[in-house]
A and B are shown apart, each in its own frame.
Chain A
Amino acid sequence: TAGITQAPTSQILAAGRSMTLRCTQDMRHNAMYWYRQDLGLGLRLIHYSNTAGTTGKGEVPDGYSVSRANTDDFPLTLASAVPSQTSVYFCASSWTVDQPQHFGDGTRLSIL
């Protein structure tokens, strides 16, 4: 069973470059989320989607964009990466916004 798949697992990116982190779930969950986790800290919500076709801003949305064209995919794009975006990025999904979230294994992103 796949659950949530994130790609790539890790990436080193030059500052100023753009990048899209991929997230795919096979559970037909309605809601999806992107978090970032800086070293030694908790998770902070970047963007979320209650259902396909809708998105919303979380706690730290600046510098990131998302789209939800279908139920399964929720890509996160950094248009012009900056070193402060170095972090571990987790994607999650849930049946609805008040149901338990299932998390992927994360993408470790370093911006140099």
Chain B
Amino acid sequence: DAKTTQPPSMDCAEGRAANLPCNHSTISGNEYVYWYRQIHSQGPQYIIHGLKNNETNEMASLIITEDRKSSTLILPHATLRDTAVYYCIVRVVGTNAGKSTFGDGTTLTVKP
């Protein structure tokens, strides 16, 4: 699976959009981009994933560049409860590929 690079930390004002970048320059054509977050010491929580098209759900939007070498997770109206560590990972599509490495993620701090 391709390796990802994320900034170690970011701040965001409450009510503003939080834009979290992720670089995955070695991604291959059969790898999805996934985003998870981990609040305090809880188990990670799935947010969103995509292959090459932009995706949106009730939690966030995922923007993937045309060359698929980077992506941005957007939390449109960040709240204090969105303070968490956000992980960007890539995973191979297929029935015999279960490996995924989370890396250290980005610690997002939403400030009042």
Contact = CB atoms under 8 A, between A and B. Distances in A.
Interface of A: 4, 31, 33, 35, 41-45, 48-50, 56, 58-59, 88, 90, 92, 96-98, 100-106
Contacts of A101: 36, 44, 46, 100
Contacts of A98: 32, 91-94, 97
Contact of A104 (B43, B46, B97): B43
Interface string B37-71: 00001111110010000000000000000000000
Contact of B45 (A31, A50, A56, A103): A103
Contact of A102 (B41, B46, B92): B46
Given A42-B103, A50-B95, A103 B49 contact: no
Residue among A42, A48, A98, A103 with the highest chain B CB neighbour number at 10 A? A98
A106 B99 contact: no
A45 B101 contact: yes
Interface in B64-112: 85, 87, 91-105
